[in-house]
């Protein structure tokens, strides 16, 4: 049975616990490094044995056990190309998904469920169930690092990071400072929310930005992403551009391609108009056909034409597959299955 460990779900709670045990900032820093990088607390010439105050040292095993209980591996579904979906069980039995990606990448979740309700996504089917604390977010990275090295973290799993921004930014700060992940290799994905554009430029660790666009047409976008803020597409692109120029990381635009819905030539033309001259990368992800969702992905010929057209017109364009979709289906499907199979 997994011990409930609600007292350490946030990094601020972990820091406070350490301070209560006599930790100074240098001690906190070393604990956070050891945890998030899954490495020893010892440093050359400064072993943990003599570095930490005795009160803290004595409590560390209990704290580590609590942190381990924040995210446990419930199931692993490997595929080719270093890709594997991880079904992660949280301390209260809730499930989220992380995905190991090629070249040291990791996609993690920020919420259990999601309130945005994108029509093509399984994660949003049941709405938002709860927020993940910042420590639960970092714990997914620690869990993945016990399996292999992680050098890039994308916040594109279950949940809308903008709806849990305090926790997401707290996690990003630890991953970028103590977690040894390059700031541009932390990628926050959002459907577009003013809070993101206001907060990110103020942060010590500024992640790269991915914007889920899916259509250039405001009315269609509102149908595809029913609970996303109603910010006109042009304004979204302008705000992303401002952030991209300030940070020197291009904005990654995400677009799930659905046959007959958002794969028209008119959409391509508007993408060209919007993104020409912008510091941007267009990522197309063909819709992943799953039970219960009545959409289709465009044919391989159409996909090739879409990508070819945009490249010809000078837009940096990539065609991506939703990682691991060939193993166990769309984002959120593993969790949906695990929950269904749970005893009442």
Site for ligand SF4, rule CB under 6 A = 114, 116-118, 121, 123-124, 158-160, 191
Q: How far is the CB of 114 from ligand SF4 (least distance, A)?
A: 3
Nearer to ligand SF4, 88 or 158 (CB): 158
Given the complex with ligand SF4, which of 21 and 165 has the nearer CB atom?
165
Nearer Cβ to ligand SF4 (121/174): 121
Q: SS3 for the chain, per residue?
A: CCCCCHHHCCHHHHHHHHHHCCCCHHHHHHHHHHHHHCCCCCECCECHHHHCCHHHHHHHHHHHHHHHCCEEEEEEEECCCCCEEEEEEECCCCEEEEEEECCCEEECCCEEECCCCCCCCCCCCCCEEEECCHHHHHHHHHHHHCCCCCCEEEECCCCCHHHHHHHHHHHHHHHHHCCCCCHHHEEEEECCCHHHHHHHHHCCCCCEEEEECCCCCHHHHHHHCCCCCCCCHHHHHHHHHHHHHHHCCCEEEEEEECCCCCCCHHHHHHHHHHHCCCCEEEEEEECCCCCCCCCCCCCHHHHHHHHHHHHHCCCCEEECCCCCHHHHCCCCHHHHHHHHHCCC
Comparison of 212 and 216: residue with beta carbon closer to ligand SF4: 212
**Minimum distance, C-beta of residue 210 to ligand SF4, in the bound complex (Å):** 11
CB of 224 to ligand SF4, least distance (A): 9
Do residues 78 and 84 touch, judged by C-beta distance below 8 A? yes
CB of 116 to ligand SF4, least distance (A): 4
- Which position has the token pair 């279950």? 158
Q: Of 246, 158, 164, which Cα lies nearest the Cα of 207?
A: 246
Q: Which is nearer to ligand SF4, 8 or 233 (CB)?
A: 233
Task: Report the nearest approach of ligand SF4 to the CB of residue 159 (Å).
Answer: 6
Which residues carry out catalysis? Answer: 97, 331
**Residue 121 or residue 237: which is nearer to ligand SF4 going by CB?**
121
Shortest spacing between CB 34 and ligand SF4, in angstroms: 31
């Amino acid at each position: 049975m997994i011990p409930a460990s609600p007292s350490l779900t946030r990094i601020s709670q972990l820091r406070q616990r350490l301070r209560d045990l006599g930790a100074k900032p240098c001690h906190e820093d070393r604990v956070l490094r050891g945890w998030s990088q899954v490495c020893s607390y010892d440093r050359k010439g400064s072993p943990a044995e003599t570095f930490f105050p005795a009160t803290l040292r004595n409590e560390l095993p209990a704290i580590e056990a609590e942190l381990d209980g924040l995210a446990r591996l419930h199931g692993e579904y490997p595929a080719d190309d270093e890709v594997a979906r991880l079904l992660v069980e949280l301390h209260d039995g809730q499930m989220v998904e992380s995905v190991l990606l090629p070249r040291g990448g990791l996609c993690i979740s920020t919420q259990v469920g999601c309130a945005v309700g994108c029509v093509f996504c399984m994660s949003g089917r049941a709405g938002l169930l709860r927020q993940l604390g910042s420590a639960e977010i970092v714990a997914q990275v620690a869990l993945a690092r016990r399996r292999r090295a992680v050098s890039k973290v994308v916040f594109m799993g279950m949940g809308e990071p903008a709806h849990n921004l305090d926790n997401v930014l707290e996690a990003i700060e630890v991953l970028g400072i103590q977690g040894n992940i390059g700031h541009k290799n932390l990628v926050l994905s959002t459907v577009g929310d003013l809070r993101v554009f206001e907060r990110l430029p103020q942060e010590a660790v500024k992640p790269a930005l991915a914007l889920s666009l899916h259509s250039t047409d405001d009315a269609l976008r509102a149908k595809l992403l029913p609970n996303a803020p109603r910010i006109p597409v042009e304004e979204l692109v302008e705000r992303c551009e401002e952030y991209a120029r300030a940070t020197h990381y291009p904005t990654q635009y995400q677009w799930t391609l659905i046959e007959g819905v958002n794969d028209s030539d008119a959409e391509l033309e508007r993408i060209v108009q919007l993104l020409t001259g912008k510091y941007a990368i267009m990522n197309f992800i063909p819709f992943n056909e799953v039970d219960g969702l009545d959409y289709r992905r465009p044919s391989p010929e159409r996909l090739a034409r879409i990508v070819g057209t945009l490249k010809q017109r000078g837009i940096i364009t990539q065609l991506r597959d939703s990682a691991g979709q060939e193993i166990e289906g769309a984002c959120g499907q593993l969790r949906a299955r695990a929950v269904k199979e749970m005893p009442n």
